[in-house]
Amino acid sequence: MFRSIVENAPIGVLIIDSSDEVIFCNLMALSILLMHDETIVGRKILDILPEISILEKLPIQNKSYNGDAEIISILSADGNENYCEVQLSRPAGAHDNIKHIVTLTDVTRRVRALQAVQGQEHRWDLALQGSQIGVFESDLRTGTGFASQTWFELLGISKAKERDSDAEWHARVHPDDLALVVSSDAQCIEGLSEKSEASFRMMVQDGTWHWMKSILRVTERDGTGKAVRLLGTMVDITEQKRVDELKDDFVATVSHELRTPLAAVYGALRLLSESMSMSASEKTKKLFGMAYRNTSRLIQVVDELLDFQKLKTGHFSVEMSRVDIVDIVNQVGIDNELYAKKYEVTLIVDTPKKSIFLNADPLRLKQVLTNLVSNSAKFSFPNGSVIIRIELEKSNCMISIIDNGHGISSDFSKRIFIPFSQQADHLTRNSGGSGLGLAISKSLIELMSGEIGYHSEPNVETTFWVKIPVMS
Summarised one tens digit per residue, pLDDT across range 82-109 is 888 888 877 776 677 777 788 889 888 8
Q: Is the per-residue pLDDT at 376 higher than 70?
A: yes
Q: Is the pTM of this model over 0.85?
A: no
pLDDT for 278 equals: 67
Show the domains of the chain with their CATH numbers: 2-114 (3.30.450.20), 132-236 (3.30.450.20), 241-313 (1.10.287), 321-469 (3.30.565.10)
Give the closest residue to 205 by CA, choosing from 164, 153, 130, 162: 153
Convert 328-350 to b/e letters by CB count within 10 Å (16 or more is b): bbeebbeebeeebeebebebebe
pLDDT for 328 equals: 95
* pLDDT 10s digits, 158-206: 887 778 999 999 999 999 999 999 999 999 999 988 899 999 999 999 9
Average pLDDT over residues 399-405: 93
What is the amino acid identity at position 103? T
SS3 category, 414: coil
User: Residue 66's pLDDT band (boundaries 50, 70, 90)?
Assistant: very low
C-alpha distances (whole Å) from 329 to each of 370, 373, 397 are 9, 10, 12
User: Residue 128's pLDDT band (boundaries 50, 70, 90)?
Assistant: low
* pLDDT 10s digits, 312-361: 777 778 899 999 999 999 999 999 998 899 899 999 999 999 999 999 99
User: Residue 426's pLDDT band (boundaries 50, 70, 90)?
Assistant: very low
Q: Hey, CA dihedral for 408, 411, 414, 417, is it positive or negative? A: negative
User: Residue 126's pLDDT band (boundaries 50, 70, 90)?
Assistant: low
Q: Is the per-residue pLDDT at 28 higher than 80?
A: yes
SS3 category, 92: coil
Asked if 87 and 101 touch (Cβ cutoff 8 Å), the reply is: no
Q: Is the per-residue pLDDT at 151 higher than 50?
A: yes
β-strand partners of 321? 360
β-strand partners of 236? 212
pLDDT for 429 equals: 41
pLDDT for 274 equals: 73
Q: Is the per-residue pLDDT at 59 higher than 70?
A: no
CA gap 457, 442 in Å, rounded: 21
Residues shown for the chain: 472
pLDDT for 67 equals: 44
Per-chain mean pLDDT for the chain: 83
CA gap 218, 185 in Å, rounded: 10
Helices (H) then strands (E): counts for the chain: 14, 17
pLDDT for 331 equals: 93
| 111 φ/ψ angles, rounded to the nearest 5 degrees | -65, -40
User: Residue 37's pLDDT band (boundaries 50, 70, 90)?
Assistant: low
CA gap 46, 52 in Å, rounded: 7
Average pLDDT over residues 59-79: 59
User: Residue 118's pLDDT band (boundaries 50, 70, 90)?
Assistant: confident
Give the rounded distance of the alpha carbon of 346 from its chain centre: 43
Which of residues 184 and 127 earns the better pLDDT score?
184
Asked if 128 and 150 touch (Cβ cutoff 8 Å), the reply is: yes
